[in-house]
A and B are shown apart, each in its own frame.
Chain A
């Protein structure tokens, strides 16, 4: 593998639900340490695209390759791969019956086969990265939405993923809690994590994104630097969408 080969490589990805074609042939390559934002109106297929990247959805056609491994290959151990593909959900999806620490160590112990002690060391490091080490014994219900989302990020981080997928990570949060989550994400981007983010946080995208992808009706309409997409887009659809966000 050459240094230039992408961490995440999506080729001609297609997905339909019944007669409704959600993804109409998506090509996207994300390179190491890149932060890519995917924006677009609801129903444009952004979330489905993200969920195909760790096979929570099974695509109808096309390939998704992560770190050189074709996820659709029947010989691929998908659970071993998912460990390498972190995902953060809009609704956090923390396990409510487990403390923050146990939320993080579960996969370390069951998938990475680490001892409890080793898993806790890794989990604590992840908790420190999101600034919540002191909440390790809290249950999700005792935490604010922003804290829950940061724990969810730590849960993915602890598995040392090659790439992190964020599915609208701040849209379920009260406005005053958004900042803490975005700060954690900025730190990760700066530290060199490869990230694919579905989000409408424009200001944040402007600062953190290396590239912005605009999707509509199941296709990638255009992509470019934040300046190009938010500033002087050539496409009327992009401009219309961006101006809506700014309001």
Chain B
């Protein structure tokens, strides 16, 4: 038991690694700040395209989202980060991470938002159009706010997934939370820094998880 605590909950090691992990957390938050809005806007575009009158657009976006939902995000990231340089396109890890996660999360946000938009009855479109509102204004002011509210639980849990996803950026040497923790682990030969990183993710995400599950049950009943 002592060996276990020594290895996983070593307060001394944790204290030493803490500043490093905080810097890593800063990077994690920075990635989130870039990827979550990008993914949400991308998802909006996906949802709009899926509702478009052009069958070509609908089908091609459908195929793209299915592809990105079938590809593991890590594969996507490595393709962008290590594959593209072979064609002479060299990206910074941060750009690669943003591109890969944008593609992945747009597909997921897109599916969620599409379901939300489809949940709004045609009466809302008709009422708004009958007062002279343009299609764009109808979508923006009448349909989208209701759609977002209807799929709020899925949007929250999707956002949790995106935050968790950022841990994968450690694989391409982004000095985010998990990378910093793993670096501290390899220096100290002790798993406590990674456990500490886990605790930080918990502090960050537990409220969101609680919120998502409250919302799910509210809608479910």
Interface SS majority for chain B? helix
For B128, what are the chain A residues with a Cβ–Cβ distance below 8 Å?
Answer: 95, 106-107
Q: Which of B124, B126, B133, B145 contacts A107 (CB 8 A)?
A: B133
A110 lies within 8 A of B127 (CB)? no
B127 lies within 8 A of A111 (CB)? no
A79 lies within 8 A of B130 (CB)? no
CA distance A87 to B126 in the complex (A): 9
A106 lies within 8 A of B132 (CB)? no
10 A-B contact pairs sorted by A residue (CB < 8 Å): A79-B129, A82-B131, A87-B127, A91-B123, A95-B127, A106-B133, A107-B133, A110-B141, A111-B133, A152-B127
Closest Cβ of chain A to B2, distance in Å, is 57
**Please, how many residues of chain A have a CB less than 8 angstroms from a CB on the other chain?**
25
B123 lies within 8 A of A111 (CB)? no
For B141, what are the chain A residues with a Cβ–Cβ distance below 8 Å?
Answer: 106, 110
- Chain A: residues with CB nearer than 8 A to chain B? 54, 56, 79-83, 85-87, 89, 91, 93-97, 106-107, 110-111, 152, 155-156, 159
Closest Cβ of chain A to B214, distance in Å, is 20
A111 lies within 8 A of B131 (CB)? yes
For A83, what are the chain B residues with a Cβ–Cβ distance below 8 Å?
Answer: 131-132
**Please, how many residues of chain B have a CB less than 8 angstroms from a CB on the other chain?**
17
B134 at interface, CB cutoff 8 A:
yes
B131 lies within 8 A of A89 (CB)? no
CA distance A85 to B126 in the complex (A): 13
A79 lies within 8 A of B134 (CB)? yes
With contacts A97-B145, A106-B141 taken as known, whether A89 is within 8 angstroms of B123 at the C-beta atoms is yes
Closest Cβ of chain B to A58, distance in Å, is 12
- Chain B: residues with CB nearer than 8 A to chain A? 123-124, 126-134, 137, 141-142, 145-146, 149
CA distance A101 to B130 in the complex (A): 18
For B130, what are the chain A residues with a Cβ–Cβ distance below 8 Å?
Answer: 54, 56, 82, 85-87, 89, 156
For A106, what are the chain B residues with a Cβ–Cβ distance below 8 Å?
Answer: 128, 131, 133, 141-142
A110 lies within 8 A of B133 (CB)? yes
With contacts A95-B146, A96-B146, A110-B141 taken as known, whether A89 is within 8 angstroms of B129 at the C-beta atoms is no
A81 lies within 8 A of B146 (CB)? no
B124 lies within 8 A of A93 (CB)? yes
CA distance A91 to B125 in the complex (A): 13
Inter-chain pairs besides A56-B126, A106-B141, A107-B132, 20 sampled, C-beta below 8 Å: A56-B130, A79-B129, A79-B134, A82-B129, A82-B131, A86-B130, A86-B131, A89-B126, A93-B127, A95-B127, A95-B128, A95-B146, A96-B146, A97-B145, A97-B149, A106-B131, A106-B142, A110-B137, A111-B133, A111-B137
A156 lies within 8 A of B131 (CB)? yes
With contacts A106-B142, A110-B141 taken as known, whether A93 is within 8 angstroms of B131 at the C-beta atoms is no
Q: Which of B124, B131, B134, B142: most chain A CB closer than 10 A?
A: B131
CA distance A22 to B132 in the complex (A): 25
Q: Which residue of A lies closest to B142 (CB)?
A: A95
6 shortest A-B CB distances, which residue pairs? A93-B127, A107-B131, A83-B132, A87-B130, A82-B132, A93-B123
CA distance A138 to B184 in the complex (A): 57
B137 lies within 8 A of A94 (CB)? no
CA distance A14 to B73 in the complex (A): 53
For A54, what are the chain B residues with a Cβ–Cβ distance below 8 Å?
Answer: 130
